[in-house]
Structures are given as structure tokens and as C-alpha cells.
Structure 1
Amino acid sequence: MTLLVSSADARNLKLMAFDVDGVLTDGRLYYGPDGEALKVFNTLDGHGLKKLAASGVTLALITGRDTPMVARRATELGIQHVIQGREDKGVALADLAASLGVTARETGYAGDDEPDVPALQWAQIAFAPSSGHDCARAAADHVTRNRGGEGAVREICDALLEHRGDA
């Protein structure tokens, strides 16, 4: 992916936050016979997230739902900052950044739908998967070739790493 920001912006990135449903997953929810919701995560995305974290970028997940699967996946990936049950994602992202001493110019965000638009607009570098809603794609600086849950996060991580000189 060719980023429409400078390599300097990618190198200055200190915090990269991701929505979950529609970004880390394909957005579909599977319900088991006992009513439990299941999510499917992509291992390619997980490896990209680990590589981005190893480059010194703090990772976060911000999601409107509150599910144990998100906490479990974050633990598996070593993501310490997990904000669940928040629809006000722009406020959640700004609050998290402030608590970490990070500015908007040092922050990236990936989201796929209307609740993500304020966070996409607040962050210096904003991504949406190709499967995202029109409003998220319009608010993003970059739209991935891959769909959410199908390698979009890996595509974002690889592009950032390349522009940071860490590929």
C-alpha cells in the first residue's frame, strides 16, 4: 500500500489503535447453540500486529462491543490497551492517547463504520478496510486492498513498517 503521508509521519507514530468488528474480523457474528457469540480472527493480522509492536508502536483495541473473545485475542497478541463497550471512539482514542502522553500527530486509527469516524478524523494517520462503510472509507487517509478480517490489518502493519524503515 502506498501511504499518502510522509515516512516521517509513519516514523513518528507512537500509538496505533484498531476497531475490532469489521477490521480485525470480517464483521460477521456467529452465534452458538447456547447464544454465545463467536468471532474469527486472522493469524496474518496477528503476526503483523506483533511486528508493529516490536517496532516500538503501542497498540490498542477500541470496540463498541464487550466480549471475552476480544480480551483473549488481545492477551494472545500482547496488546495491553483494550477499550470495550465504547461507541464514542474518538473520545476513547483521545483519552487513551492523553493517558499515554501521545498527541494526535503521533496516533493512527483503523475503523470501518460510522462510530469510527470521529477517531479516524482525530488521528494523524487513518485507515479503513475496503469492506468498510462509505463514511469510514471517506474519512480515512488510506483504504486497504484487503477486506476486514481478511488481511487488512496485516496490510496496514506492513505499510507502516515499510514507511518506518522497519520492514
Structure 2
Amino acid sequence: MTFLDSDNGAHDIQTRAAAIRLAVFDVDGVMTDGRLYLDAHGGEIKTMHVRDGLGLKRLQAAGIEIAVISGRPSEAVARRMAELGIERVHLACQDKAGALAGIRDALGLAPRDIAVMGDDLPDLALADSLTGGPGLLLAVADAVVELRRAADWISAAPGGAGAVREACELLIGARAAGRS
């Protein structure tokens, strides 16, 4: 895990992470390695790290809501999110900011209550759609440079290789430390 800035920055990240009530994840490049695997019939195969799945289950158990917002459709992603008990899944979403606003309003959250994890420019735009920015902007290690520069925290692992698990552990650990 990479905390940006100094030790004081790491403390600030921990404090802000402890207040997160909703974690929003992109799919391609965050939960997957970002590559598209296509078969001869136009079918798509996604690979996801099993440790990320456990991290998401642990995040739910810690009382943090999860939302998945992706611009691409995927039956495989829909199935995997259902297996994990994640209900707020927006696939083939052409208005990510609108989807996030709807979730935020339904849960009665402020932008500071939300963490957004992404890998590419649409995820930066999604975070920018929150007035004042999200509580935390999280990036995978192999995110585009613009997102890494704007991020509050960057995983050590690239997308699809445990980055989501690292983000989950950050939020879970900060919440547990905030209660003690």
C-alpha cells in the first residue's frame, strides 16, 4: 500500500478511511487486469482475484456498503457480484456520475463518506463528480498517471491482482482502529 505525502498524510488517510461508509469500485482494470478476453463467438471472459472477493465480503461484514459501477456490460461480472452478495451493481452504465449520485442519495451519504477506486480517466471524472471530491480517491498501482497523481492512496498491486483486497483492508483496518 502506498500512502501519499508524509507520515502526517498517512494519518490523515487513516482518519478519512475510518469515516468511509460506501466503497465504489470500477471493474475493468480494478477488479480485473483490464484486458478483454474474447472468444470466437463474441463472448467475453473475465478473470478476478479470489482474494479481492474475500476482501469485499470482509468489507461488507465491517458494515461498509459496496457499489460496482462499470461502463461495460458483463454477465460474468453480474454473476460474480451476485455470488458476493453485492446488490448495487451498475453495468453498461453510461452515466457513472448519475449512478453514484443515486446511490449516495438513497443511502443519505455525503461525498466525504465515499471512497472511489479506479484505474482510468472515467474514474477520475466519477470522483470529480462528487462536490468537494470523495472522502478518498483510491487508485490501483497501474492506473493512468492522471489518476495516480490525484489519488489519496495507491495500492501496491495492479488491477486484478489483489488491489481491491488492499483497499478493503485499508478501510477495514482504519474503521477498526477508529473504534479502539
Same fold, TM-score > 0.5, yes or no: yes
Evaluate the alpha carbon distance shift between residue 71 and residue 159 of structure 1 in structure 2; reply closer, same or farther with a 3 A threshold: same
After TM superposition, list the pairs within 5 Å mapping 1:18-33 onto structure 2: 18-33=25-40
Alignment pair present for 1:73 and 2:80: yes
Equivalent-residue separation in structure 2 for 1:108 and 1:87 (angstroms): 20
Of structures 1 and 2, the larger Rg is shown by: 2
Shift of 1:55: 0.2
Q: In the alignment, what sits opposite 1:142?
A: 153
TM-score (structure 2 length as normaliser): 0.86
**1:24–1:41: 8 Å Cα contact kept in structure 2?**
yes
Equivalent-residue separation in structure 1 for 2:140 and 2:79 (angstroms): 23
**1:126–1:142: 8 Å Cα contact kept in structure 2?**
yes
Question: What is the SS of the residue equivalent to 2:32?
Answer: coil
TM-score (structure 1 length as normaliser): 0.92
Q: Taking every aligned residue pair, what percent have the same amino acid on both sides?
A: 40
**2:32–2:46: 8 Å Cα contact kept in structure 1?**
yes
Give the alignment partner of residue 51 of structure 1, picking from 53, 58, 70: 58
Question: What is the SS of the residue equivalent to 2:158?
Answer: coil
Moved more, 155-164 or 119-128: 119-128
Amino acid at match of 2:156: R
Per-residue CA shift, 1:18-76, capped at 9, x if unaligned?
Answer: 00000000000101121101110100100011001100000010000011111101101
Q: In the alignment, what sits opposite 1:83?
A: 90
CA RMSD of aligned residues (A): 1.6
Equivalent-residue separation in structure 2 for 1:28 and 1:50 (angstroms): 25
Q: Which ranges of 4 or more aligned residues in structure 1 deviate by more than 6 Å?
A: none
Moved more, 36-45 or 116-125: 116-125
Give the alignment partner of residue 119 of structure 1, picking from 110, 116, 126: 126
Evaluate the alpha carbon distance shift between residue 146 and residue 54 of structure 1 in structure 2; reply closer, same or farther with a 3 A threshold: same
Evaluate the alpha carbon distance shift between residue 49 and residue 41 of structure 1 in structure 2; reply closer, same or farther with a 3 A threshold: same
Shift of 1:153: 0.4
**2:116–2:127: 8 Å Cα contact kept in structure 1?**
yes
Question: What is the SS of the residue equivalent to 2:138?
Answer: strand
Moved more, 76-85 or 20-29: 76-85
Evaluate the alpha carbon distance shift between residue 117 and residue 6 of structure 1 in structure 2; reply closer, same or farther with a 3 A threshold: closer
Gaps of 5+ in 1: none
Q: In the alignment, what sits opposite 1:130?
A: 141
Shift of 1:84: 1.3
Shift of 1:87: 4.0
